[in-house]
A and B are shown apart, each in its own frame.
Chain A
Amino acid sequence: MNENLSADPRLPAAVIAARAAAMASRALGRGGGSTIPGVVARRVCPRVLRELSSRLPEGAVAITGTNGKTTTTRMVAEILRVAGIRAVNNSTGANLITGVTAALVSDADLLGRPRSGLGLFEVDEASVPKVAAEAGLRVLAVLNLFRDQLDRYGELAYTAKVIASSFEHLPAGGSVVLDADDPLVASLGRSAGKAVYYGVEDRRLDTGRLEHIADSSDCPVCGRHLDYEAVYMGHVGLYRCAGCGFSRPGVRYRASRVALEGSRGTRFLLGTPSGEREVRIRLPGLYNVYNALAAAAVAGEVGVGFEDITRGLESFRGAFGRVERVRAEDREVFLLLIKNPVGFDEILRTFMLSGEATHVLIAINDNDADGRDVSWLWDVNFEMLRDVREGLPPFRVSGIRAHDMAVRLKYADLPVGEVVPDRREALKKALGATPPGETLYVLPTYTAMLEIRRALSDMGYTHPFWEDR
């Protein structure tokens, strides 16, 4: 590709300007500069993403979907590390086109030559067409589509349409990796040139019912209500439409014999075209089995061998803030990011239903990055905890919408603990109420997570996130 090095004379200038912007942003204490360099670079050279991406020897892959983008991207990064493939990724979660650009720019040398072999990007659902058009994706993985932040994205069917519109930008031989168990996601395969599916095959995980969430339990093809043989979470499971015959496609990557072991992690039998073996991941909950499967599929589709895939999955430790343990002297803080009803339900099921989590602080913010609408709290099935929470300390609540959260708990007939809207103060109080040797479970929305992590950092318990690499 060397003949292309001078394709756009503005490229080196874009790289230099972006570097300067990153340094300035850091100096001003604006965090890791994970977006601004991208904005600057694109202004100097609008083709910067195309140019840099086209020089990646192994091409680029992207991961999108409502839940699990960051964790899955990190898992793939770990697999690639184990496999000895150098990848550039937007690891701090700046997942719009500017964040993707910034990652590539910071990886490039001053002549605009990437140092990495492969581009690995987590991409916001709405940004997928643009990234696909500019980055020439080899593999695009769509994890799931749940109702999340409708105030930003509008309706699910629309989001699905937007994602499908990007398929035409994939180069010949490019493939789409899809969750077979999410009907709306699986239906996207019908408009993709090459679709590769993954899914869970374990009927023991059947929760026996669809939650009260009108996400997409209707057939995405004909609109009839789907028949489910097993419902794993939300609308995800083994389904079939009696109307048009649309059904869960056969999978190339599968997880069976799933054993959920609470915060200790999860074991399952991973089946791929290149091998089958039991793997143990250090992340809790069924949703992380899906993330691991997606990561295995993406890695497999870019040619990583089975051995490296399993080693990478097993050596992976959670992505920042999503699932994170912080030692606070003689206590531990366990951070579990919450984003939407299905994710919240899974956390309740994984940690609270067993009675494992005793001391709990929930922090709900409604800033733009959290979603300004908190009505989704009413779709979380807190009612499942009514019996098990008896005798345990009541949940403490915090965040800008602490009072809404308190009302939700009250209407689930759960005892409500102290309501302290200020995150820092709430954290201090909750830590104080957690006996030495025990763990405080903190369930924050995105910006509350940032605030709580910063508070922990200020108390000397961890480091700021942009150092978290």
Chain B
Amino acid sequence: MKLTVHHLYARMMNLYGDRGNVISIVRRCEWRGIPVEVVEVNLGEKLRPTGCDVFLFGGGQDREQALLAEDLSGSKGADLRAIVEDGGVMLGVCGGYQLMGHHYETPEGQRLPGIGVFDLYTRPRRPDEARLIGNVLVRTSLGGEERELVGFENHGGRTYLGGVEPLGRVVSGYGNNGEDGTEGARRLNAYGTYLHGSLLPKNPWFTDHLIATALRRVDGSFELEPLDDGLEERAFRAMAERITSGRA
């Protein structure tokens, strides 16, 4: 059973260390002896899911996002939507997250259609609004268990959720729009978030959740072996403590 990581638009959407998310999934599979392969999907290339997949969709700059929106408006967007409906595992970060919604409006007023996996939209920042930048602590519950995620957000766009569930609640930071306390979105096995930093290396439980979910689509009883996450836990705690003590 081999896990395939599809790095969507790896060449263009890799802005804030998104590569760290890829590395994190790959190493945590390798350390457990799970075969893993990374496939880059670039402009004009078709998706080739294998049944045991994680789709990663990172952040990019506005100009790149416009090119992608066009690429996604064809069959690729429809394929991704179908994959998510079927329980496929997908994580969108920042720009990728925005394009998983209905539309993203650029600061120049161009409305870029998203793939509509999430019922949400993103509007640009108004001239009197600041970019939302800083360390973030989010409380989330996946599979009934309350956990925390830390990351760094840096976005001008404000995202507003429709009927979709948020990924979590902001403990400290801005989240989707800096107003309603929500951060990210989740639906079935698809997740979107503004947290980079990179997200997965410092939140290894979330990485493992993505890996395990993908593997269980093939083998329902699959259990991941635990790893020694001492360094990751320390990195997480160092930042969580800094945030909760008001120093970040």
- Are the C-beta atoms of B154 and A404 separated by less than 8 Å? no
Question: Min CB distance, A270 to chain B, in Å?
Answer: 35
Report B-chain residues with C-beta under 8 Å of the C-beta of A377: 17, 20
A376 touching B64 in the complex, CB below 8 Å, given contacts A151-B154, A403-B231: no
- Chain B residues within 8 Å of A154, by CB: 131, 156
- The answer to whether the Cβ of B15 comes within 8 Å of any Cβ in the partner chain is yes
**Chain B, Cβ-Cβ closest to A220:** B63
Render A360-402 as a binary contact track against B, CB cut-off 8 A, 1 for contact. 0000000000001111111100000000000000000000000
The smallest beta-carbon distance between B131 and chain A, in angstroms, is 7
Q: Which of B16, B43, B62, B67 contacts A375 (CB 8 A)?
A: B16
Q: B23 — which chain A residues lie within 8 A by C-beta?
A: 378, 411-412
- Point out the residue from B27, B152, B196, B235 that lies within 8 Å of A403, measured CB to CB: B235
Q: Among A214, A408, A410, which residue has the most Cβ atoms of chain B within 10 A?
A: A214
Digitize B1-38: 1 where CB-to-A-CB distance is under 8 Å, 0 elsewhere: 00000000011111111111001100100000000000
A23 adjacent to chain B (CB < 8 Å) = no
Contact present for A378 and B198 (CB under 8 Å)? yes
A410–B231 touching, CB < 8 Å: yes
- Is A314's beta carbon under 8 Å from chain B? no
For residue A85, CB closer than 8 A to chain B, the reply is no
| B141 partner residues in chain A, CB cutoff 8 A | none
A223-B63, A372-B134, A373-B152 in contact; A413/B27 too (CB < 8 A)?
Answer: yes
A412 partner residues in chain B, CB cutoff 8 A: 23
- For the complex, what is the distance from the CA of A225 to the CA of B67, rounded to whole Å? 11
Report B114-141 CB contacts with A as 1/0, cut-off 8 Å: 0000000000000000010111000000
A372–B248 CA distance with the chains assembled, in angstroms:
9
Shortest beta-carbon distance from B96 to chain A in Å: 12
User: Within B58-112, which residues are at the interface with A (CB < 8 Å)?
Assistant: 60-64, 67
State whether A375 touches B197 (Cβ < 8 A).
yes
- Measured CA separation A373–B153 after assembly (Å): 9
Q: Which residue of A lies closest to B27 (CB)?
A: A411
Shortest CB-to-CB span from A222 to chain B, Å, is: 11
**Cβ contact of B234, chosen from A212, A403, A413, cutoff 8 A:** A403
Please give, as numbers and ranges, the residues of chain A lying within 8 Å of B14 by CB-CB distance: 212-214, 379
The reply to whether the CB of B166 lies closer than 8 angstroms to some CB of chain A is no
Residues B234 and A419 in contact, CB atoms below 8 Å apart: yes
Closest to B195 in A: A375
Cβ–Cβ contact B63 & A147, under 8 A: no
CA distance A151 to B10 in the complex (A): 21
Whole-angstrom distance from the CB of B109 to the nearest CB of chain A? 16
State the CA gap A377–B17 with chains docked (Å). 7
Using an 8 Å CB-CB cutoff, how does the interface string of B172-216 with A read, 1 for contact, 0 for none? 000000000000000000000000111001100000000000000
- Known contacts: A372-B133, A378-B198, A411-B23. The answer to whether A156 contacts B10 by CB under 8 A is no
> Given the interface contacts A372-B133, A408-B201, does A155 sit within 8 Å of B62 by beta carbon?
yes
Give A372 to B153 CA distance when docked, in angstroms. Answer: 10
- Given the known interface contacts A214-B11, A378-B198, the answer about A407 and B231 at a Cβ–Cβ threshold of 8 Å is yes
Let me know if A218 and B27 touch, CB within 8 A: no
Residue among A217, A373, A410 making CB contact with B154, cutoff 8 Å: A373
Bound state CA distance, A338 and B106, in angstroms?
Answer: 33
Q: A416 within 8 Å of B by Cβ?
A: yes
**A372 engages B152 (CB within 8 Å):** yes
| A-side interface size class | 20 to 34
B165 at the interface (CB under 8 A from A): no
Bound complex: CA of A419 vs CA of B238, how far in Å? Answer: 12
Cα of A403 to Cα of B24 in the assembled complex, Å: 15
> Which residues of chain A are within 8 angstroms of B13 by Cβ–Cβ distance?
214
Question: In the complex, A156 Cα to B23 Cα: how many Å?
Answer: 25
> Are A375 and B152 in contact (CB-based, < 8 A)?
yes
B81 to chain A, nearest CB (A): 25
Q: Which residues of A contact B133 (CB under 8 A)?
A: 151, 372-373
- Residue of A with least CB distance to B204: A407
Mark contacts of A137-151 with chain B using CB atoms, 8 A cut-off: 1 yes-contact digit, 0 otherwise.
Answer: 000000000010011
Say yes or no: is A24 at the interface (Cβ < 8 Å to chain B).
no
Q: Is A40 an interface residue (CB 8 A)?
A: no
Shortest beta-carbon distance, B124 to chain A, in Å?
Answer: 13
Contact of A376 among B17, B62, B201, B239 (CB under 8 A): B17
B-side contacts of A170, CB under 8 Å:
none
Tell me the complex Cα distance, A252–B144, Å: 65
Asked if A403 contacts B238 (CB within 8 A), the reply is yes
Q: Is A157's beta carbon under 8 Å from chain B?
A: yes
- Whether A378 contacts B64 by the Cβ 8 Å rule is no
Evaluate whether A411 and B201 lie within 8 angstroms (CB atoms) in the complex, with A151-B133, A155-B61, A406-B231 already known. Answer: yes
**Residue B148 is within 8 A (CB to CB) of chain A in the complex:** no
Residues on A with beta carbons closer than 8 Å to the beta carbon of B234: 403, 406, 419
Most buried by B among A212, A213, A416: A212
* Whole-angstrom distance between the Cβ of B72 and the nearest chain A Cβ: 16
* Chain B residues whose C-beta falls within 8 Å of the C-beta of A223 in the assembled complex: 63, 67
Q: Mark A266-283, 1 if CB is under 8 A from B, else 0.
A: 000000000000000000
Task: Determine how close the nearest CB of chain B comes to the CB of A69; give it in whole angstroms.
Answer: 23
**Complex interface: chain A residues within 8 A of B231 (CB):** 403, 406-407, 410, 416, 419
**Once the chains are docked, how many angstroms separate the CA of A407 from the CA of B197?**
12
Q: How far is the CA of A179 from the CA of B18 in the complex (A)?
A: 28
CB distance from A434 to the nearest CB of B (A): 24
Q: Is the CB of B201 within 8 A of A150?
A: no
Residues of B within 8 A of A212 (CB): 10, 14, 19
CB distance from A334 to the nearest CB of B (A): 27
Chain A contacts with B in 302-346, Cβ cutoff 8 A: none
Cβ contacts under 8 Å, A411 to chain B: 20, 23-24, 27, 201
User: Which residue from chain B places its CB closest to the CB of A341 in the assembled complex?
Assistant: B17
User: Can you list 29 contacts pairing A with B, beta carbon distance less than 8 Å?
Assistant: A155-B61, A214-B11, A214-B13, A214-B60, A218-B64, A223-B67, A225-B11, A372-B133, A372-B152, A373-B154, A373-B197, A375-B16, A375-B20, A375-B197, A376-B17, A377-B17, A378-B19, A378-B23, A378-B198, A378-B201, A403-B235, A403-B238, A403-B239, A406-B235, A410-B231, A410-B232, A412-B23, A413-B27, A416-B231
Binding site for B on A (CB under 8 A): 147, 150-151, 154-157, 212-214, 217-218, 223, 225, 372-379, 403-404, 406-408, 410-413, 416, 419, 421
Contacts A373-B196, A375-B152 aside, 7 further interface pairs with beta carbons under 8 A come to A225-B43, A372-B134, A375-B196, A378-B198, A403-B238, A408-B201, A411-B27
Closest 4 CB pairs of A and B: A378-B20, A375-B17, A378-B17, A403-B235
